[in-house]
Amino acid sequence: MRLVRENFPSKWKVRPDGLAKVTGTLKYLTDLIFPNMLYGKVLRSSYPHAKILSISTGNAEKLEGVKAVVTHNDVPGMNRFGLIFPDQPVLCDDVARYVGDAIAAVAAESEEIAELAIKLIEVEYEPLEVIDDPEKALLQSAVKLHPGGNILHRAGYKSSEEVMNVIKECPYVVEETYETPRQMHAYMETEGGVVVPDKNGGITVYAATQHGFKDRMQLARILGMPESDIRVISSPIGGSFGGKDELNIQPYAALLALKTGRPIKLHNKRSESVRAGIKRHPMKMKMITGADEQGKLVGHYVKIIADTGAYATLGPAVLDFAVEHSTGPYLIPHVDIEGISVFTNNGVSGEYRGFGGNQVTFALESQIDRLAEMMRMDPLMLREINIRNAEDLGPLGQRIVANDGAKNVLSMIKSSTILTAPLKRQDNWCLRGRGAAITMHGGGLGFGRPDPSGARLALTKEGEIEIAFGFEEFGQGLLASIEIMMTDMLGCAKEDIKIVIGDTDLVPASGSSTASRSTNMIWQGINKLKEPWRDKILDAASSVTGVQKRKLFIGERGVWEKGVKNKMIITYKELAKSFSHNLPVCSTQYHFPTTPDAVIGGHYLHTYAAVAAEVEIDQLTGRIKVTKLDHSVAAGPVVNPLGYLGQIEGGAIMGLGFTLFEDSIMEHARYHTENFDSYLLPTIKDIPLSTNVDVDESLFESDIFGPRGVGEIGTVAVAPAITAAIHNACGIWVSKLPVSPEELLNALELTPFLFDQQEVVE
């Protein structure tokens, strides 16, 4: 079904946070100002790899207006952070391993003074050999960046010992190496916020994160203080895309707040955000894929090298995900996948929308298209021959929730007009082409990884139905989705609801707002609370009104009595007043659904997507313009159609940027692209004006898991659809992203392309 207002009239809702956003009245955490507030700044390493011989802060401390300078000596607890392996120094003591490493931090009466003070801190470095390439890091002779060496993580999956042998026997074999860029999250709001100390020695942290409780745990460890003394307020957020899940400015603002006893505001400048912030893992992927005469995929050999940068953060999980998704939605009998995530002195790579799926999907789908060309077969036909069935095992041999999504999105995209309408292939200096790609994407953290969630439903004394989750709103539309699910599942009006998120003092732990898990976790939470809630409310209403419980139901504004004409017998407000204490509260704890098979990291719930793209190539400049982009997505029932559409369309343009423009260019482990003058994001002039999103909402009857999240799926298969269209337009295969107009232009000159005569239409 086309995702447009007409098809979802009752669910097409204005988002609850919309009004404050369009009027500019919403206070983001970086907008906050507190009385007596100081400004913080962080000194980052001058070298991508150096021994720190000495740090002298005397001159900075003497500067008028400077209130505190902190170094590693001021970290009371563990001087390390990291979501899984705490290996990154909060403030470096002996060695700096990348240009984002923090050496010291300053609190001053103004940002300008703090900046000046930073320049007065004298650090004596002894520069060390720099590893700026993961392949160099793997050499025997390479300097070791961490005590355990330069390999962060290895992951693999092998379904057969015979892979290379069977591939050698195949009549059709494609071997190619693909490379993807160090994409930046480029959230419009850079990392920042305020840490406010309280009288009892505790702190309140107002700073963006995707997981308030994890920040609280990490901060407690760093500050050597109990978690109960730390409150993390983490919403609203001006964009995240995975980039704010890891700690960023919080420890520095917290250390300074505790040292000065005053609120500290710390808001990264864009260049500092680029320097210190995580990025998408650049990956180099070699794939050798073989198919038989009929087009059945027989063998698939994959080697992945991921540049994880200086520290671990979520590097291991990203690699696991890439390995798992290297075969996509295809059935391939002989598979051998090996991945390695390698430390370098480059910028730290970590969590990013798509989580390793985007890189391998580009490579895999490109392989399929190359095979199709070799066989002179329609590329969608080749996909159809090899696509998984609903009941097939998952890519790591694990059981997954049966779903026809893969087949459905493929069949939906086949009817996209991008692929079916006549195409004028050449027009003056412009060449046109079209292509498509598909993907499947796991949700949640995967088998063997704690992935719990919690929800709480309560009647407040004001008579509001308060729903609380430990999630954050960073734009994805969580608040709207909660509101829609609440009115849908509890029958209440949106005016009855109070939503509480993003505050560790007020919400249950729900896990991270990541991995396309929140929508599903919210649905499951409300679904579990629905019955106990109804029971409690109806019991109370019955005892107050004397009407038998079986005649009552919960609805808009209050409790209603069934009858020829239903009538409301007590409002939620009146009901709340009838309690002197112990207002109704229901809580639940649950876990993201996981596969019953002990395959570490293996996913259980999936979403599926197909993308069709049309491009124009300017033969004079080599520039590519994506003129049309269509999507088919299967992710279960649509909860919040406007939010869904925004995630798919927005994700697609992020994918377009990944394909055509975006790369955080590093040389000798230093960034060249420090802001939006050199790091190019898609603008409104770079997007396809024609775009359609079609959805498949079907779930099998046995599927009790409800709607899946769509935060990531819109970005995953965009690149290979665009590069397939480029090949269709000019005959050139792209294997490195972002596509270089210069290289394309050179290739165009070298390989005059003749259209397949049968394909030329109009």
Partner 1 sequence: MNTEGLRNKSSAEEENNININIMVNGQSYSLAVHPAYRLVDILRNDLGLTGTKISCEIGRCGACSVVMDGNLVNACLVMAYQVDNQVIETIEQVAIETIHPIQQAFLEEGALQCGYCTPGMVIALKSLLDKNNHPTEEEVLDYLSGNLCRCTGYNGILRAVQRYKNESLSIHKFKL
CB–CB of 633/713 below 8 Å?
A: yes
The least CB distance from residue 137 to partner 1, in Å, is 31
Which residue in 90, 304, 410, 642 binds partner 1 (CB under 8 A)?
A: 642
Alpha carbon distances (Å) from 313 to 282, 317, 516, 762: 15, 9, 19, 53
**515: which residues sit within 8 A by CB, 6+ positions away?**
355, 443, 444, 445, 709, 712
Stretch that binds partner 1, among 276-284, 319-327, 563-571, 686-694 (CB under 8 A): 686-694
Stretch that binds partner 1, among 185-193, 215-223, 387-395, 694-702 (CB under 8 A): 185-193
The 85-114 contact track toward partner 1, x by CB under 8 A, reads ------------------------xx-xx-
Which residue in 476, 513, 519, 595 binds partner 1 (CB under 8 A)?
A: 476
Rounded CA gap, 103 and 121, in Å?
Answer: 10
What backbone phi and psi angles, to 5 degrees, belong to 481? -65, -40
What backbone phi and psi angles, to 5 degrees, belong to 713? -60, -30
Stretch that binds partner 1, among 529-537, 538-546, 687-695, 697-705 (CB under 8 A): 687-695
* Site for partner 1, residues 648 to 677, rule: CB under 8 A: 649-654, 675-677
Which residue in 95, 99, 174, 186 binds partner 1 (CB under 8 A)?
A: 186
The least CB distance from residue 694 to partner 1, in Å, is 15
Whose Cβ is closer to partner 1: residue 689's or residue 761's? 689
The least CB distance from residue 57 to partner 1, in Å, is 19
Which residue in 26, 166, 374, 747 binds partner 1 (CB under 8 A)?
A: 26
Whose Cβ is closer to partner 1: residue 112's or residue 427's? 112
The least CB distance from residue 232 to partner 1, in Å, is 19
| Rg, Å, the chain Cα set | 27
Rounded CA gap, 519 and 511, in Å?
Answer: 12
Using CB under 8 A as the binding rule, whether residue 120 contacts partner 1 is answered as no
Whose Cβ is closer to partner 1: residue 556's or residue 686's? 686
Enter the tokens of residue 467.
Answer: 């729903």
Whose Cβ is closer to partner 1: residue 159's or residue 190's? 190
Burial of 58 (0-12, 13-18, 19+ CB in 10 A): exposed
Whose Cβ is closer to partner 1: residue 285's or residue 633's? 633
Alpha carbon distances (Å) from 519 to 512, 708, 709: 12, 6, 5
- Residue 252 CA, chain-centre distance (Å), reads 25
Of 324, 414, 302, the residue nearest 606 (C-alpha): 324
CB–CB of 550/539 below 8 Å?
A: no
Which residue in 197, 212, 238, 277 binds partner 1 (CB under 8 A)?
A: 238
The least CB distance from residue 635 to partner 1, in Å, is 17
Stretch that binds partner 1, among 82-90, 168-176, 369-377, 681-689 (CB under 8 A): 681-689
* Site for partner 1, residues 596 to 625, rule: CB under 8 A: none
CB–CB of 156/303 below 8 Å?
A: no
The least CB distance from residue 221 to partner 1, in Å, is 29
Using DSSP, state whether 544 is helix, strand or coil: helix
Using CB under 8 A as the binding rule, whether residue 691 contacts partner 1 is answered as yes
Total residues interacting with partner 1, rule: CB under 8 A = 65
Of 587, 603, 593, 588, the residue nearest 706 (C-alpha): 593
Rounded CA gap, 579 and 219, in Å?
Answer: 39
Which residue in 164, 390, 681, 747 binds partner 1 (CB under 8 A)?
A: 681
Residue 496, number of CB atoms within 10 A of its CB: 23
Using DSSP, state whether 9 is helix, strand or coil: coil
Whose Cβ is closer to partner 1: residue 19's or residue 421's? 19
Of 451, 431, 353, the residue nearest 648 (C-alpha): 353
Alpha carbon distances (Å) from 750 to 394, 425, 568, 714: 43, 20, 77, 35
| CA-angle at 586, arms to 580 and 588, nearest 5° | 155
Stretch that binds partner 1, among 91-99, 239-247, 415-423, 694-702 (CB under 8 A): 239-247
Whose Cβ is closer to partner 1: residue 236's or residue 443's? 236
The least CB distance from residue 269 to partner 1, in Å, is 7
Of 347, 188, 212, 337, the residue nearest 275 (C-alpha): 347
Using CB under 8 A as the binding rule, whether residue 733 contacts partner 1 is answered as no
Stretch that binds partner 1, among 73-81, 230-238, 393-401, 665-673 (CB under 8 A): 230-238
The 1-20 contact track toward partner 1, x by CB under 8 A, reads -------------xx-xxxx
Rounded CA gap, 90 and 258, in Å?
Answer: 15
Stretch that binds partner 1, among 197-205, 297-305, 391-399, 470-478 (CB under 8 A): 470-478
The 34-73 contact track toward partner 1, x by CB under 8 A, reads --xxx-------------------------xx--------
**135: which residues sit within 8 A by CB, 6+ positions away?**
284, 305
Stretch that binds partner 1, among 89-97, 196-204, 233-241, 500-508 (CB under 8 A): 233-241
Enter the tokens of residue 649.
Answer: 């369309």
The least CB distance from residue 379 to partner 1, in Å, is 25
In which order are the strands placed within the sheet that holds 690-696? Answer: 426-427, 430-442, 606-618, 624-634, 690-696
The least CB distance from residue 516 to partner 1, in Å, is 15
Residues near partner 1 (CB under 8 A) are 14-15, 17-28, 31, 33, 36-38, 64-65, 109-110, 112-113, 185-190, 236-241, 267, 269-270, 474-477, 642-643, 645-646, 649-654, 675-677, 681-685, 687, 689, 691
